[in-house]
């Protein structure tokens, strides 16, 4: 099969077949490679961006008829020169086609370099080709802003948590699960009988959210309890100020002493 090289102007719907097929043709495809120098490591190669072909097509424009010319070619170098320089000047997109191969890519034509060499009036040319990428092929990331309320993404469960002053089960569940109402189930998971009662230094186990939702909820008592060591009792939704456990014990002791004194007639 006789191989021919065709330049087809897609803007003007015109085609030009080189009158003499060159002995070789340029082509390249693939991805660029970036080479970096790294301290203590040396050179490394990393994949770069998709590369665009750039090459120079070298060919002959005969001024007389030769048997090796392609079928239908004209021995008129000036006609080819005018057509190619016009397409280059007008920045027309052309298809670079090599028959019998898979080469059929859009290109822009650079400035045609041409001249005679041997006194035969034949013209020898060098034509730079630059692969063209249509803008609609480029993928553009669209960044949109949500004008509404941002969606809160629950953070990852930490596994365990040590209570600090000012904490409540509701606030802890809101922080770690994104849902404060899980406070009553977290109480069940940790064997807490009163969800309103936690104290500083207490270590809570934080199950996976999926597992936690399977627990039954521990209801809160009608009135908040009291914390130990002079702490502050907490309801599921926030702190409730209470007296210390020591104060309560002192009051009970005083009551017991008073009852004993009354029993033996002492005031």
For the chain, the farthest-separated pair of C-alpha atoms sits apart, in whole angstroms, at 147
Tens digits of residue pLDDT in 58-114: 999 999 999 999 999 999 999 999 999 999 999 999 999 999 999 999 999 999 999
59 pairs with which residues across the strands? 125
Q: What pLDDT, on a 0 to 100 scale, did the predictor assign at position 12?
A: 92
Q: Which DSSP helix (H) or strand (E) runs through 15?
A: strand 14-17
Segment 146-166 mean pLDDT: 65
DSSP H helices in the chain: 77-89, 169-177, 183-189, 209-212, 245-263
Q: What pLDDT, on a 0 to 100 scale, did the predictor assign at position 43?
A: 86
For residue 159, give the DSSP letter. Answer: S
Burial of 166 per CB tally in 10 Å (0-12, 13-18, 19+): exposed
Higher pLDDT, 209 or 7: 7
Q: What pLDDT, on a 0 to 100 scale, did the predictor assign at position 149?
A: 55
Question: Which among 182, 190, 176 has a CA at the least distance from the CA of 217?
Answer: 182
Tens digits of residue pLDDT in 114-134: 999 988 999 999 999 999 988
Are the C-beta atoms of residues 5 and 18 closer than 8 Å to each other? Answer: yes
What is the spatial distance between Cα 142 and Cα 144, in angstroms, rounded to a whole number? 6
Mean pLDDT for the chain overall: 81
Tokens describing residue 36: 């970096």
What is the spatial distance between Cα 178 and Cα 152, in angstroms, rounded to a whole number? 7
Tens digits of residue pLDDT in 51-64: 899 999 999 999 99
Tens digits of residue pLDDT in 172-207: 999 999 999 999 999 999 999 999 899 999 999 998
Tens digits of residue pLDDT in 227-255: 444 444 445 545 443 334 444 445 445 55
- Distances in whole angstroms, Cα of residue 135 to Cα of each of 12, 96, 132, 139, 140: 19, 19, 9, 9, 10
Q: Is the pLDDT of residue 139 over 80?
A: no
Share of the chain above pLDDT 90, in %: 50
């Amino acid at each position: 099969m006789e191989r021919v090289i065709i330049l087809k102007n897609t803007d003007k719907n015109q085609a030009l077949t080189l009158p003499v097929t060159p002995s070789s043709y340029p082509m390249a495809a693939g991805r660029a490679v970036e080479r970096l120098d790294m301290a203590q490591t040396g050179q490394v190669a990393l994949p770069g961006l998709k590369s665009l072909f750039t090459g120079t097509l070298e060919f002959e424009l005969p001024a007389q008829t030769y048997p090796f010319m392609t079928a239908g070619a004209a021995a008129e170098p000036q006609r080819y020169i005018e057509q190619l320089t016009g397409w280059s000047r007008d920045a027309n997109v052309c298809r670079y086609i090599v028959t019998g191969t898979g080469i059929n890519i859009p290109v822009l034509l650079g400035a045609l370099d041409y001249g005679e060499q041997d006194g035969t009036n034949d013209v020898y040319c060098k034509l730079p080709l630059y692969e063209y990428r249509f803008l609609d092929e480029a993928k553009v990331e669209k960044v949109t802003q949500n004008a509404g309320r941002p969606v809160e993404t629950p953070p990852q469960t930490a596994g365990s948590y040590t209570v600090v002053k000012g904490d409540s089960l509701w606030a802890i569940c809101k922080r770690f699960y994104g849902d404060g109402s899980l406070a009553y189930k977290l109480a069940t998971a940790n064997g807490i009988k009163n969800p309103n009662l936690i104290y500083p230094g207490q270590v809570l186990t934080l199950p996976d959210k999926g597992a936690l939702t399977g627990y039954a909820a521990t209801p809160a008592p009608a009135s908040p309890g009291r914390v130990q060591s002079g702490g502050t009792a907490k309801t599921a939704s926030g702190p409730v100020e209470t007296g210390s456990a020591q104060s309560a014990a002192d009051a009970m002791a005083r009551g017991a002493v008073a009852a004993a004194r009354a029993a033996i007639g002492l005031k």
